[in-house]
Structures are given as C-alpha cells and as structure tokens.
C-alpha cells in the first residue's frame, strides 16, 4: 500500500517535472491504484465543491504538486470551509492565492475543521506540494461561491444630531450623537451589512424629563424643542451634580403659556417640598444658583395647546462657601446667614415634643469645594414614651411612611408623687374618624378613663389626674393624614379636701388631705367621740370629706350602773356627784354597798365609787301575822309577811287608829335574826270619847305593865293567854269599859316550840 502510493506520487512528480510548467490537472496520468482516490488538482467552476488532497482519503504521498483553480461567476466571491487538514511537515504545504495576493501558506495543523477563508474576488488558486519524505495526511476543503454584497445607502444625519463615519461599504459603521439637550431614540451606531444598515436611523428629540447623573454641564429643553411642547405634560428632570458643587441654570429661551403652564425649580434641601422658583410666561428668567448639588425641574402644562417652550444651560460650579443649610420641619436653627465660610457651624433645635435625628450641629468643611459635614437633622415626634420630667410637650407622632397601617402609641407620664398631672392642649385637630386620644387616670389601661378625644369630640378643656401618673393612648387608622395635636403637661398641686381641722380635747392623726386619703380622730381621756372616728376625702369637684369632723364631748355621767335582779335602784341620775341606792325585794338582801356615788378623777371618765351590789336571797323568815284587830282590819292579809312587807291598818267606822298606821316587817338585828314589825300593833278606839285618847294611853301602859309583870313571873304561854283575857276584861270594866282591846299580842300566839323566838324586841330589851 504504502509502496503503491509512493510510486504514484513519484510518477506524478515526474510528469510535472517533464511538463516544466504549472501543475496540470487532475486527470491522473497513471491508473489509480484505487479508483476512489482523489485527483491532484483541477479546475472547479461549480458554485460549490470539495477540494481534496491527492489520494484523499489516503495519504497524499511524497513529491506531490497539485494546482486547484476555482472560478465563480464574477458577481460572486468564494468561501473555503476546512473540513480536515493535516500535513506531515513544513515541506508539505498548501498555498491559497487570491489573484494578486497570497492569502496564506498552511502546513502541519495550521488549519483545522471549521476554519473559513474568504476570497475578495471571484477566483481562488490553491497549490499543494509535498517534499520527498513523510507524505502522510491530506485535506478536505469545501468551497462555496457566494454573491458579493453591495454598498449601503447613505443614512444621512437626523436633526439635532452629528455623525461619525462616512464609509458605506459592507461592514462599515456610522455613529450618531445628539446635540446637547436632545435624547437619542434608536441605536446610536449603524453597521452596513450586505447592502443595508443593521438598524433604523435614530432620531434626536427633546424628551419629557430625564435623570442626569454627573450633571457637570448640559442643556435642558422643553419636550419637542424647538417645536412647541404639548398639552397635559408633567415632565421631571433630576440633575445630580458632583458633591461640593452647585448647579447654575441659565435660561436662553423661555416661552410658557402664562399662568397655565409652569416650570418648577426645586432644590434638594427644602424640607417642605416647595419649589425655589415657579416660572411661567415669556420673560427669560434670570439665571439661578442652587444651594445643593441636586436640583429637580418639573414642567406641568395644562390642557390648552403648548407654546415654544424653553431651553436652558446647566453647569455645576464648585462651591467656595457653604450655603445656609435651610430650615427643617418642626425645628429651628441658628443659621441666619446666607453663606458660611469654612469652620463655621450652625446648630439645630427641635420644637418641644420633637426629637432630633442626626447631627444637631453642622460645620462648613475646609477645602476648595465647600460643603457641610453632615446633612441637616430631622425633627420627629416619637410614637409613645415614658416621661418623668415635671413638664413636657407631647406632639402627635410623625407619620411613619415605611410602616403605614393602624398605629397605637402609649405615653406614660409619671410626675413627682406629691403632685398630680395637669394636661393642657396647645392644639388638637384630628381629622381621621378612627383616630382618638384616650387619657387614663393612672399608669396603665386599667386605670379609670379621664377623657377620650377624637375628631368629633375635640379636646377643649384641661385634664387633671388625681394621682401622679397618667397614661395617654393615641390610636389612628392606616393613614398619614390623621391630623395633629400638641399637649403640654405640668405638675399640679394635688387636689385636696379642705383642712378638716383639729378637735378640742382630742387629736387628729393624718395630714394628707388628698383624694382617697383618710384622717383619724381620737379623744382625750374623759371625752368621748361624737361622729366618725375615720373620715375619707372622696373625689368630687371640689373633693369633700365623707363625714363631718367629729367632736370630743366631755363625759358628764357615769355609765348606767344597772339594777340587780330582785332589786331596785332609787335614781336614774348618773351625773357626777349624784348617788344611787339599791334595795332588794322581800326575801332578798343586799350584798355590797347599797349606795353608789358617781365621781370623776381628772382626765378620766366618771366612775361609780363602788360596784353595783347584788340582791341575794335570804332564808324565809316572816314577821308574825298581826292575826286580828278589834274594830278594824289590816291589809294585806297574806299570812306571809316577809322582810320589807308593809301592813296598813285601818279601823272600822266609829273607831280611830291609835299607833302606827303602817307597819313594816324589818330584818332582825345581828343577834336575833327573827324579823320584827317596825312598830307595835295599833289599836282602834271609839272616836266619840275625845278624852279617851289620854286614858287609853294610860290603860295601854297599864296593860303593858301587867304583861311585863306576868312575863317576869315566867308564866307559860297558855296561862298567859288565860291571864290576858282576864286582864283585858278587868281593864275594860275598871278603866275604859267601852274601849275594846286593841289586838292580840302575837307573843301569845307563837307555838310553844317557838318560845325562844317569841319575845318581841321590847320584851327582850326589858329583860
Ligand atoms: C484548466 O483551465 C486552464 C485555463 O483556464 C486551462 O488552460 C486548462 O487546460 C484547464 N485544465 C483542465 C484539465 O480543464
Ligand atoms: C519525516 O519523518 C521522520 C519520522 O517518521 C522524521 O524523523 C523526519 O524528521 C521527518 N521529516 C521531515 C522533513 O519532517
Ligand atoms: C466569509 O464570508 C462569509 C459569508 O459572507 C461570512 O459569513 C464570513 O464571516 C466571512 N469570513 C471571514 C473570515 O471573513
Ligand atoms: C469531506 O468532508 C466532508 C465534511 O466532513 C464530508 O461530508 C465529505 O464526505 C468529505 N469528502 C470525502 C471525499 O471524503
Ligand atoms: C429617574 O430615576 C428614577 C429613579 O431613580 C426613576 O423612577 C425615573 O423613572 C427616572 N426617570 C427617567 C426619565 O428616566
Ligand atoms: C463626570 O463628568 C466629567 C466631565 O464630563 C468627567 O470628567 C467625570 O469623569 C464624570 N464622572 C463620572 C463619575 O462619570
Ligand atoms: C432662542 O434664543 C436665541 C437668542 O437668545 C434666538 O436666537 C433663537 O432663535 C431662539 N430660539 C428659538 C427656538 O426661539
Ligand atoms: C424658632 O425661632 C424663632 C425665631 O428665633 C422663635 O420665635 C421660635 O420660638 C423658635 N421656635 C422654637 C421651637 O425654638
Ligand atoms: C455627626 O457628624 C460627625 C462628623 O462631623 C459624624 O462623625 C457623625 O457620624 C455624625 N453623626 C450623625 C448621627 O450623623
Ligand atoms: C415605658 O416603661 C414601661 C415600663 O414601665 C415599658 O414597658 C415600656 O416599654 C416603656 N416605653 C417606652 C416607649 O420606653
Ligand atoms: C418645667 O419644669 C422645669 C424643671 O424641669 C421647671 O424649671 C420649669 O419651671 C417648669 N415649667 C413650668 C411651666 O412648670
Ligand atoms: C301607809 O301605807 C300606805 C300604803 O303603803 C300609804 O299610802 C300611806 O301613806 C302610809 N301611811 C303612813 C302614815 O305612813
């Protein structure tokens, strides 16, 4: 195999040498060893075909010299696409020739699958030669004839633009740039491709607004300028110049519909979003210098047709001073000058109720480009807080633009405990119907509500707490425009009840007269409290004590000493110095002092000098029954006359009583315990005889005398009875025959066994 190739190559080479001229075509001079092996060179005029190395797909062999001529129609060019390429060494070379110029010489692996080579004209020559050694490898190259593309048309230059690039041949580009103030719509760069541009030609128009970063110098035009601007426009231009510079606007043309169309000029540091300039009409405005490096322009036109519009030039100017940093909302600054030099400062302060966020003091920085070292601070009112100062202002919370929604804010006010809180309203304008401000009389929501203010119930009057704590609760719905309020609170003297005073002959404990506190009264010794001991200050307007101040009254009386069972007291007068006496009922006797006296020692209550006595039962002992009375009777007739019983005697008509009318049964004395009547029994005597009263006394005396004699004689009871009758009869016959004997002597009626107790007091005393 290898040998056959080599041989064919040698033969071919010989032919070439013999011809002494350019390699001749591909008709193999020798019969090919293998009929499919490729020819060496040839003329190619088809629109496409394959250029193959000799013997392809086998090795090309040594000493090859093959010429390939490719010819396409003159309106075409040729493209070679490498499918495979490999030669053994540098001596085996494929040369590609564009008529008039060698495109390249290739050996080894200098070409690879996918490589493309274009001709400029419609012809190409390829020459392959191999040396005497190492004739291995080959190539497979596809060619295609393609029409030559034409030039592009001149794209021209749109209005308000400039162009770079004039060539129109395929592959050439042109680039457009709009004039200052105009915006390019479309592609700024066009490329000629096969006779046409790859994009439409752009246009340059003055746009409605734009963001201009690095605004060092430029032009701003009204939309469509120099054509008239349109109706119903709202165009915004933002200009950001480098830090440390400000922007100068110089108007060159200006015509707006006077009073209907406006150009607003804003500087970035205005906190209230108000424009610095509001421009309209057809007078060209004076140039303007911003304070900051950020400026906004806004053109607003109405529904009427427009006007010519405006053109202006902006340029950034390095600052050589710091400008007044301007006011802030809800705050004040010391900035009074328009311009500040390096090192100077301004200080901001927030209104009461607002807190400062940021740097309070700004200093104008050193350097050629002047600016403040910090942005102006922000004053904001917080949503809630704990306040312990003696007085402070609370402002309605600054709307939170990041967290819109329902909001509840709580403020706890706690002043010194010896004060209460007075809340005054500086302003109160709630607009939202959901919004309200509730005030509680204490430290938490459980405290009693004091007030609830809203859009329909606006705060009109001051609010006082009772104690030292107040809770404020502000609620609003999901809106920023709920309205506003401003409150100042103060320490206020606590609300008091009037001084309830002291009490004579007593004292008060407690000096706190504030609401819900109490004072206690006590009386000195010897005095007693009239009224309430403890009185409480109750809330009200004004607060009042729940009971009047009590009094201490001198105690004049001893307490009721009482009455013992089965006894009596003779008096209800318990006043100091008076006495009460006790007696006991029949059959009872006093144990203790019978008489109590009410006495007072200084500084103490009156007291009885003794304890109340008791009545204790005595053994039953009776006085003798008077038994009977001649010509009269007695009452009561109980037959049981206890100690203390009183018997009243009365005489029949025509008789008068002699002696005591009433007899009382008395306790016996210590030696003889038998009770006795207080007096001798009386007698009833005829009343006609006036003088008889004297003789009756004599007769009685006589009788008694006889009786005593008899008693002394020691006569017994029965004898004595008989004798008594006789004596009485004798007396009546001899002395006063018409006077009946007054009564029977009880002595004689006592049974014999009672003899010891029988004798009366008089008798015993006589004995
Ligand atoms: C190839 O073309 C050249 C000139 O165009 C011609 O002289 C030559 O005879 C051609 N060879 C063949 C094999 O057609
Ligand atoms: C031919 O091939 C041999 C080895 O096969 C190599 O040593 C020699 O350098 C090659 N000759 C050239 C001219 O590349
Ligand atoms: C060759 O021409 C073709 C067709 O026009 C083109 O696609 C290709 O880019 C060209 N290649 C080179 C290398 O010029
Ligand atoms: C040449 O290469 C192309 C692409 O790989 C292939 O399609 C073609 O059959 C090859 N020709 C020959 C004769 O091998
Ligand atoms: C300017 O930028 C802002 C945001 O940075 C953007 O919302 C606005 O659409 C831009 N305006 C224009 C005209 O590009
Ligand atoms: C801003 O513009 C100036 C001049 O046009 C230029 O020198 C500078 O590099 C630009 N700066 C930025 C950040 O683009
Ligand atoms: C703008 O004003 C200049 C002179 O300031 C003038 O020459 C020019 O015509 C004006 N342009 C338009 C469109 O009015
Ligand atoms: C702010 O300053 C003005 C003028 O100096 C003064 O009248 C006003 O009370 C100040 N306000 C506050 C909140 O300090
Ligand atoms: C205040 O300014 C100083 C520089 O002057 C800066 O370091 C500091 O961070 C600023 N503080 C605030 C809260 O902006
Ligand atoms: C106020 O104090 C209470 C406790 O007394 C605390 O729970 C609450 O978070 C505080 N509020 C603020 C805003 O500091
Ligand atoms: C507010 O409180 C301060 C002390 O914190 C006091 O000096 C000042 O007098 C008070 N003002 C009023 C109006 O009570
Ligand atoms: C005797 O007793 C009666 C009733 O007890 C009384 O009314 C009367 O006054 C008494 N008489 C004398 C003299 O004590």
Name every residue whose Cβ is closer than 8 Å to that of residue 446 and which is 6 or more positions away in sequence: none
| Domain 622-732 of CATH type 2.10.70.10 | yes
Q: At what angle do helices 717-734 and 692-713 cross, to 10 degrees?
A: 150
Q: Does ligand 9 lie within 6 Å of residue 374's CB atom?
A: yes
CB-based contact 545:522 (threshold 8 Å): no
Which residue lies with its CA nearest to atom 1 of ligand 2? 134
Distance 28 CA to ligand 2 centre (A): 27
Q: Please state the atom number of ligand 6 nearest to the C-alpha of residue 214.
A: 1
Residue 495 has pLDDT above 80, yes or no: no
Residue of 180, 211, 214 to test ligand 6 pocket, by largest number of atoms within 8 Å of CB: 214
CA distance 382 to 398: 7
In this prediction, residue 368 carries a pLDDT of 63
Question: Residues of the chain with pLDDT > 90: what percent?
Answer: 55
d(CA 314, CA 290): 11
Query: Which residue matches tokens 């008693």?
Result: 711
Residue nearest to atom 10 of ligand 2 (CA): 134
The CATH code that applies to domain 2-148 is: 2.60.120.290
CB 224 within 8 A of CB 205: yes
Query: What sign results for the dihedral spanned by CA atoms 219, 223, 228, 234?
Result: negative
Best of 327, 329, 332 to mutate for ligand 8, by most ligand atoms within 8 A of CB? 332
Q: How many CB atoms lie within 10 A of CB 645?
A: 19
Determine the Cα–Cα distance for residues 636 and 418; give it in Å rounded to an integer.
Answer: 83
| Class of the domain covering 567-615 | mainly beta
Return the pLDDT at 688.
72
| Distance, CA of 637 to CA of 657 (rounded, Å) | 18
Give 5-44 as a DSSP string: HHHHHHHHHHHHHHHTSS---SS-SS--SSTTSPPS-EEE
Residue nearest to atom 4 of ligand 9 (CA): 373
Tell me the pLDDT band of 756, cut-offs 50, 70 and 90: very low
The whole-number pLDDT of residue 320 equals: 77
CATH of 385-493, one of 1.10.3730.10, 3.40.190.10, 3.90.1150.10, 2.60.120.290: 2.60.120.290
- Which helix (H) or strand (E) segment is 86 a member of? strand 76-87
Nearest CA to 66 out of 19, 128, 134 is that of: 128
Cβ 43 under 6 angstroms from ligand 1? yes
User: What does each C-alpha distance from 424 to 461, 485, 492 come to in angstroms?
Assistant: 7, 11, 11
CA of 42 to the centre of ligand 1 (A): 8
Q: Give the gyration radius of the chain's Cα atoms.
A: 74
Distance CA 320, CA 316 (A): 12
Do 381 and 330 contact (CB within 8 A), yes or no? yes
Q: Is the CB of 71 under 6 A from ligand 1?
A: no
**Number of other residues whose CB lies within 10 A of the CB of residue 321:** 13
* Angle value at C-alpha 159, between 158 and 162, nearest 5 degrees: 65
pLDDT number for residue 211: 94
Q: 364-397, pLDDT tens digit by residue?
A: 987 666 788 999 999 999 999 999 999 999 999 9
Mean pLDDT of the 597-616 span: 89
pLDDT score recorded for residue 493: 84
What's the mean pLDDT in 742-766? 35
322, 359, 366, best to mutate for ligand 9 pocket (most atoms within 8 Å of CB): 359
Q: Are strands 407-414 and 385-387 parallel, antiparallel or unpaired?
A: parallel
Q: Map tokens 């497979």 to a residue.
A: 140
Task: Give the number of whichever ligand sits closest to the CA of residue 243.
Answer: 6
Q: Say how far apart CA 259 and CA 278 lie, in whole Å.
A: 10
**Ligand 1 mean position to 24 CA, how many Å?**
8
Atom of ligand 2 lying closest to residue 133 CA: 1
Average pLDDT over residues 317-327: 84
Question: Cβ(116) to ligand 3 under 6 A?
Answer: yes
Ligand nearest to the CA of 311: 7
SS3 89: coil
**What pLDDT shows up at residue 690?**
52
Residues of the chain with CATH 2.60.120.290: 2-148, 210-318, 385-493
- pLDDT at position 319: 77
**Ligand 3 pocket member 114 (CB < 6 A):** no
Query: Helices then strands (H, E): number in the chain?
Result: 4, 60
CB atoms within 10 A of CB 690: 7
Nearest CA to ligand 5 atom 1: 211
Strand partners, 192: 197
Q: Is the per-residue pLDDT at 28 higher than 50?
A: no
Q: For 705-720, what is the mean pLDDT?
A: 43
Residue 709 sits at φ, ψ, to 5 deg, of -60, -45
**Among positive and negative, which fits the CA dihedral 442, 446, 452, 454?**
positive
357 lines ligand 9 (CB under 6 A): no
Question: What residues are in contact with ligand 8 under a 6 Å CB criterion?
Answer: 332, 349, 351
**How far is ligand 4, taken at its centre, from the CA of residue 50, in Å?**
8
**pLDDT value of position 21:** 39
User: Residue 142 C-alpha to ligand 4 middle, in angstroms?
Assistant: 8
- Are 396 and 455 in contact by the 8 Å Cβ rule? The answer is no
pLDDT at 369: 65
Residues 6+ apart with CB under 8 A from 388: 413, 414, 415
* Other C-beta atoms lying within 10 Å of the C-beta of residue 560: 12
Give the confidence band of 629 by pLDDT, cuts at 50, 70, 90: confident
pLDDT at 692 over 90: no
For residue 375, give the DSSP letter: P
Residue 214 CA to ligand 6 center (angstroms) comes to 6
Is the pLDDT score of 728 beyond 90? Answer: no
Whether the per-residue pLDDT at 747 is higher than 70: the answer is: no
Burial label for 293, CB within 10 Å (0-12, 13-18, 19+), is: buried
Contact 342, 364 (CB under 8 A): yes
- Rounded to whole angstroms, the Cα distance separating 329 from 53 reads 89
**CB contact at 8 A, 300 and 289:** no
The stretch 138-152 carries a mean pLDDT of: 90
8 versus 297: the higher-pLDDT residue is 297
Banded pLDDT at 234 (limits 50, 70, 90): very high
298 falls in which pLDDT band (50, 70, 90)? very high
Predicted pLDDT of residue 194: 74
For the chain, residues classed under CATH 2.10.70.10 are 320-380, 506-552, 567-615, 622-732
Q: Is the CB of 147 under 6 A from ligand 4?
A: no
DSSP assignment string, 554-611: E--B-------TTEEES----BTT-EEEEEE-TTEEEES-SEEEEE--TTS--EESSP
DSSP label at residue 140? E
- Residue 764 has a pLDDT of 31
Cβ atoms of 158 and 176 within 8 Å: the answer is yes
Residue 289, pLDDT > 90, answer no
Confidence of residue 271 (pLDDT cuts 50, 70, 90): low
Mean pLDDT for all residues in the chain: 83
Nearest CA to ligand 3 atom 1: 118
Question: Which one of 3.40.50.970, 1.20.140.10, 2.10.70.10, 3.40.50.720 gives the CATH number of domain 506-552?
Answer: 2.10.70.10
Q: Specify the pLDDT at position 367.
A: 67
**Fold for the domain defined by 320-380:** Complement Module; domain 1 (2.10.70)
Mean pLDDT within 544-553: 95
Percent of residues, the chain, with pLDDT higher than 70: 83
Model pLDDT for residues 474-483, shown as the tens digit of each residue: 999 888 788 9
How many A from CA of 253 to the centre of ligand 7?
6
| 586, 646, 662, best to mutate for ligand 12 pocket (most atoms within 8 Å of CB) | 662
Q: Is pLDDT of 670 > 90?
A: no
Give the integer Cα–Cα distance in Å for 762 and 636.
25
Q: Out of 95-109, 589-603, 729-743, give the one with best mean pLDDT.
A: 95-109
Residue 45 structure tokens = 């005029």
Can you tell me the mean pLDDT for 407-416? 95
Average the pLDDT over 95-102 and give the result: 92
- pLDDT at site 68: 96
Say if CB 285 and CB 329 are below 8 A apart.
no
**Count of residues in the chain:** 767
What CATH superfamily classification does 210-318 receive?
Spermadhesin, CUB domain (2.60.120.290)
Q: Does residue 477's CB lie within 6 angstroms of at least one atom of ligand 9? A: no
* 325-365 confidence digits (pLDDT tens): 888 999 999 988 878 888 899 999 999 999 999 999 999 98
Peptide bond into 542 cis (omega under 30): yes
- pLDDT tens track for 198-215: 999 999 999 999 999 999
């Amino acid at each position: 195999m290898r040998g056959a190739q080599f041989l064919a190559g040698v033969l071919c080479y010989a032919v070439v040498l013999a011809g002494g001229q350019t390699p001749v075509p591909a008709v193999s001079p020798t019969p090919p060893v293998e009929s499919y092996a490729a020819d060496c060179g040839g003329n190619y005029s088809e629109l496409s075909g394959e250029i193959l190395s000799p013997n392809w797909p086998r090795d090309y062999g040594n000493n090859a010299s093959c010429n390939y001529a490719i010819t396409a129609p003159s309106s075409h060019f040729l493209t070679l696409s490498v499918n495979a390429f490999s030669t053994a060494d540098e001596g085996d070379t494929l040369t590609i020739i564009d008529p008039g110029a060698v495109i390249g010489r290739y050996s080894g692996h200098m070409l690879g699958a996918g490589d493309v080579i274009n001709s400029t004209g419609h012809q190409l020559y390829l020459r392959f030669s191999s040396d005497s050694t190492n004739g291995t490898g080959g190539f497979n190259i596809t060619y295609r004839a393609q029409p030559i593309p034409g030039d592009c048309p001149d794209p021209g230059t749109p209005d308000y633009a400039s162009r770079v690039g004039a060539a129109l041949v395929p592959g050439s580009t042109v680039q457009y740039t709009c004039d200052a103030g105009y915006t390019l719509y479309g592609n700024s760069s066009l490329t000629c491709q096969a006779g046409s541009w790859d994009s439409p030609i752009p246009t340059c128009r003055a746009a409605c607004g734009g963001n201009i970063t690095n605004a060092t110098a430029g032009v701003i035009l009204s939309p469509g300028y120099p054509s008239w601007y349109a109706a119903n426009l709202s165009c915004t231009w933002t200009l950001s110049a480098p830090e440390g510079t400000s922007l100068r606007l110089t108007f060159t043309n200006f015509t707006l519909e006077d009073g209907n169309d406006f150009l607003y000029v804003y500087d970035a540091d205005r906190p209230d979003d108000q424009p610095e300039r509001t421009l309209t009409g057809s007078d060209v405005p004076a140039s303007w210098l911003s304070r900051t490096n950020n400026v906004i322009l806004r053109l607003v036109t109405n529904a009427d047709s427009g006007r010519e519009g405006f053109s202006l030039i902006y340029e950034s100017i390095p600052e050589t001073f710091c400008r007044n940093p301007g006011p802030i909302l809800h705050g004040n600054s010391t900035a009074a000058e328009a311009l500040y030099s390096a090192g100077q400062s301004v200080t901001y302060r927030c209104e009461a109720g607002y807190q400062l966020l940021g740097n309070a003091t700004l200093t104008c920085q050193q350097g050629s480009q002047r600016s403040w070292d910090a942005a102006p601070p922000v004053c904001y009112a917080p949503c809630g807080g704990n306040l312990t100062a003696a007085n402070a202002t609370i402002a309605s919370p600054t709307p939170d633009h990041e967290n819109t929604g329902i909001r509840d804010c709580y403020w706890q006010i706690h002043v010194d405990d010896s004060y209460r809180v007075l809340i005054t309203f500086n302003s109160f304008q709630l607009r939202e119907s959901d919004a309200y401000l509730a005030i509680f009389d204490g430290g938490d929501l459980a405290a009693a509500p004091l007030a609830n203010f809203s859009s329909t119930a606006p705060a009109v009057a001051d609010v006082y707490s009772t104690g030292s704590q107040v809770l404020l609760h502000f609620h609003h719905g999901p809106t920023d425009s709920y309205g506003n309020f401003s409150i100042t609170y103060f320490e206020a003297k606590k609300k008091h009840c009037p001084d309830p005073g002291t009490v004579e002959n007593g004292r008060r404990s407690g000096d706190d007269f504030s609401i819900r506190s109490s004072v206690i009264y006590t009386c000195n010794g010897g005095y007693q409290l009239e009224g309430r001991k403890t009185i409480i200050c109750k809330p009200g307007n004004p607060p009042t004590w729940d009971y009047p101040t009590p009094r201490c009254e001198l105690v004049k009386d001893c307490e009721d000493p009482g009455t013992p069972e089965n006894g009596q007291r003779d008096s209800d007068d318990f006043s100091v110095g008076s006495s009460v006496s006790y007696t006991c009922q029949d059959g009872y006797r006093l144990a203790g002092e019978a008489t109590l006296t009410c006495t007072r020692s200084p500084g103490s209550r009156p007291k009885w000098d003794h304890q109340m006595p008791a009545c204790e039962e005595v053994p039953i002992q009776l006085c003798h029954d008077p038994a009977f009375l001649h010509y009269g009777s007695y009452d009561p007739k109980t037959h049981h006359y206890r100690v203390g019983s009183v018997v009243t005697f009365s005489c029949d008509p025509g008789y008068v009583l002699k002696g005591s009318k009433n007899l009382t049964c008395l306790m016996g004395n210590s030696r003889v315990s038998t009770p006795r009547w207080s007096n001798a029994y009386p007698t009833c005597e005829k009343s006609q005889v006036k003088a008889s009263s004297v003789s009756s006394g004599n007769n009685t005396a006589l009788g008694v005398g006889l009786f005593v004699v008899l008693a002394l004689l020691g006569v017994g009871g029965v004898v004595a009875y008989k004798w008594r009758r006789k004596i009485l009869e004798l007396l009546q016959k001899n002395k006063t025959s018409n006077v009946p004997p007054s009564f029977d002597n009880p002595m004689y009626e006592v049974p014999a066994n009672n003899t010891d107790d029988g004798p009366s007091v008089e008798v015993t005393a006589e004995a």
